[in-house]
Structure 1
Amino acid sequence: MAGDSGAVDRAQALLAAGRAQQAVDLLVDAAKRGDGDALYELALWHVYGTPVPRSFAAARALFEKAGAAGHRAGALTHAVFVALGAGGPSDWRAALALMDKAAATDPVAARQRDLLAAMALRPDGNPAAIPTIERLSQSPDVRIVRSLFSAAECAHFAALSQPLLTPSVVVDPATQRQIPHPIRTSAGAVLGPIQQDLVIHALDRRIAAASATRVEQGEPLTVLRYAPGQQYRLHHDCLPGEANQRVMTVIVYLNDDYDGGATQFPAAGTEFRGRTGDAILFVNTLPDGRVDERSRHAGLPVTRGEKWICTRWIRARDFDPWGMRPS
């Protein structure tokens, strides 16, 4: 059974009151009775390691049980865990089989399955081929991939992220409080392992193939929406003092029915405004790992409509995406 939210609500109230063990006991008991909501919530607790120990294996098993109890998000997240290899072996074919099973009764899963069926994928989930890559600039190293995503895939991205969008903020180092982002005026959402679905995971693999990197190097995709007048002022994407640096950035344009909003590289004297599904790839660091100052770029102000993009920052080495909580 999918269950109601009663046990989860009571457990959350107990947590808020500082009664963590009682919250855990309550949720574990509900999960043993087959309450899908309780199974799913308990799985999330194991993902984030509070108020129970972090265990991806336990989370994977609980997501599977939640899906079997009729919990839609549990079934879809279980498929993602199987594809990622979180808490057990990575098996793309098994993940697709789980999606097929869910699609028999869930229209959301059916739409995802149709998007996956339209992709040219190898048995391991990687793309069979990628479009031609064009060079826009030698220094900084900027390249373009036309139609990396289909229009349907772009629409899926926007629809999935729409409910998660929040104004772009940063943490004030003096007060540790969130404040409006000083150079990026937009709304954004991070599609971490819990927020993403199998379609997003397949597109992550396509980005990795296009950028000649490993999918494990990428941060979770960030979707950004810019309204008229909003922009991302001149900046580079490297992080101060970061040992595992952002060596490359990939931006995919999810729509093109807006004016303005080009991505500009002043050092190269060039800019690019992609059509729906086009991607721009650029390298942020020099061969010795230092910041390539010529990679500074700006998202120019949008003058009409809304600009939607998704960005994937790619690190020098594998990146752990699991510290991000649901929005």
Structure 2
Amino acid sequence: MTSILATGEATKARLESRPDVQKVPTPKLDLFRMRAFASDEECAALIDMIERRRRPSTLSDDTSGDAAFRTSETCDMDEADPVVARINLRFCEILGIDAALGEPLQGQRYLVGQEFKAHTDYFDPRGMDLKSTRSVMGQRTWTAMVYLNTPEAGGATRFKAIGKTIQPVAGMMLAWNNRRADGSVNPSTLHHAMKIRAGRKYVLTKWFCEHPWPSGRG
């Protein structure tokens, strides 16, 4: 646990030290914003890949019984692609987290009316997913997400517990710690990918885990 806590604090300090990263003011969680994470050219290439490789999004430990809880589409990004590899490395370098602790990159596409209702990125500590498929990698620690375009309307990310709504802007990264300072999971990270009202939204997400991601997976 000590190393996990140290990693969380080190990432927080690293982000706070960067002049191009802003901390969202709240005592409830560590949430950061970086406005120029990805270039227009990189975003366009990643959007093209998502369009070509997308599939219906899925849920872990789904107990909501709500078929409309997550209505986006997901893309398992090709990490052999030069743009994907460059972005993947950038996430790791900016957050200062070993690439071995990162999950494979995923992209998401939201059309008009699609959303991902309020959820956390960490896994339910009592859920079967953490006990089974996540038993090797452990719990998620940090999340990093970049908006690949600016939707015509809607598509904001709403952190209800802190009363903050982040409007999507092409190339901007959000990063947050899914844990509290004591290492327990932080329910204040609850966030809602709100409905698209016009146009569409593309995002790219990188999750980090307690333990290395097994080789050959993803």
The aligned counterpart of 1:217 is: 101
Amino acid paired to 2:72: S
Tell me by how many angstroms 1:272 deviates. 0.7
Structure 1 residues 229 and 145, CA gap change in structure 2 (3 angstroms): same
Any conservation in 2 of the 1:219–1:312 contact (CA below 8 Å)? yes
Q: In structure 1, how many angstroms separate the alpha carbons of the residues matched to 2:164 and 2:215?
A: 33
Name whichever structure is richer in helix by fraction.
1
Any conservation in 2 of the 1:253–1:278 contact (CA below 8 Å)? yes
Per-residue CA deviation, residues 39-69 of structure 1 (Å, 9 max, x unaligned), is xxxxxxxxxxxxxxxxxxxxxxxxxxxxxxx
TM-score, length of structure 1 as denominator length: 0.53
Equivalent residue in structure 2 for 1:297, among 180, 191, 215:
191
Per-residue CA deviation, residues 18-47 of structure 1 (Å, 9 max, x unaligned), is xxxxxxxxxxxxxxxxxxxxxxxxxxxxxx
Amino acid paired to 1:296: L
Structure 1 residues 155 and 140, CA gap change in structure 2 (3 angstroms): same
Q: In structure 2, how many angstroms separate the alpha carbons of the residues matched to 1:278 and 1:171?
A: 26
Amino acid paired to 1:186: S
Q: In structure 2, how many angstroms separate the alpha carbons of the residues matched to 1:217 and 1:313?
A: 9
The aligned counterpart of 1:278 is: 172
The aligned counterpart of 1:137 is: 25
The aligned counterpart of 1:315 is: 209
Q: Gapped runs of 5+ residues in structure 1?
A: 1-129
Per-residue CA deviation, residues 54-97 of structure 1 (Å, 9 max, x unaligned), is xxxxxxxxxxxxxxxxxxxxxxxxxxxxxxxxxxxxxxxxxxxx
Per-residue CA deviation, residues 147-175 of structure 1 (Å, 9 max, x unaligned), is 1000100111111221111111347989x
Say whether residues 1:189 and 2:75 are aligned partners. yes
Equivalent residue in structure 2 for 1:158, among 44, 47, 72:
47
Question: After TM superposition, what 4+ stretches of structure 1 lie above 6 angstroms from structure 2?
Answer: 171-174
Q: Gapped runs of 5+ residues in structure 2?
A: 1-17
Q: Look up the SS of the partner of 1:267 in the other structure.
A: helix
Any conservation in 1 of the 2:156–2:194 contact (CA below 8 Å)? yes
Tell me by how many angstroms 1:199 deviates. 2.0
Equivalent residue in structure 1 for 2:56, among 164, 167, 172:
167
* Alignment RMSD: 2.4
Which is worse superposed, 244-253 or 196-205? 196-205
Structure 1 residues 218 and 137, CA gap change in structure 2 (3 angstroms): farther
Tell me by how many angstroms 1:180 deviates. 8.8
Q: In structure 1, how many angstroms separate the alpha carbons of the residues matched to 2:24 and 2:62?
A: 37
Q: In structure 2, how many angstroms separate the alpha carbons of the residues matched to 1:298 and 1:283?
A: 16
Q: Look up the SS of the partner of 1:216 in the other structure.
A: helix
Any conservation in 2 of the 1:268–1:294 contact (CA below 8 Å)? yes
Any conservation in 2 of the 1:140–1:267 contact (CA below 8 Å)? no
TM-score, length of structure 2 as denominator length: 0.78
Per-residue CA deviation, residues 298-319 of structure 1 (Å, 9 max, x unaligned), is 1111100000001111112322
Q: In structure 2, how many angstroms separate the alpha carbons of the residues matched to 1:287 and 1:171?
A: 25
Larger radius of gyration: 1
Any conservation in 1 of the 2:92–2:99 contact (CA below 8 Å)? yes
Q: In structure 2, how many angstroms separate the alpha carbons of the residues matched to 1:202 and 1:155?
A: 14
Any conservation in 1 of the 2:54–2:74 contact (CA below 8 Å)? yes
Mapping for residues 1-327 of structure 1, pairs under 5 Å: 132-138=20-26, 139-170=28-59, 183-191=69-77, 193=79, 196-241=80-125, 242=130, 244-320=138-214, 322-324=216-218
Amino acid paired to 2:123: L
Name whichever structure is richer in strand by fraction.
2
Any conservation in 1 of the 2:29–2:180 contact (CA below 8 Å)? no
For these two proteins, the number of residue pairs brought into alignment is: 189
Per-residue CA deviation, residues 281-303 of structure 1 (Å, 9 max, x unaligned), is 01111233321011111111110
Per-residue CA deviation, residues 252-273 of structure 1 (Å, 9 max, x unaligned), is 0000042111111111110111
Q: In structure 1, how many angstroms separate the alpha carbons of the residues matched to 2:41 and 2:197?
A: 25
Answer 1 or 2: higher relative contact order, Cα 8 Å, separation at least 6: 2
Structure 1 residues 323 and 180, CA gap change in structure 2 (3 angstroms): farther
Per-residue CA deviation, residues 104-152 of structure 1 (Å, 9 max, x unaligned), is xxxxxxxxxxxxxxxxxxxxxxxxxx87110113322110011100010
Amino acid paired to 2:32: R
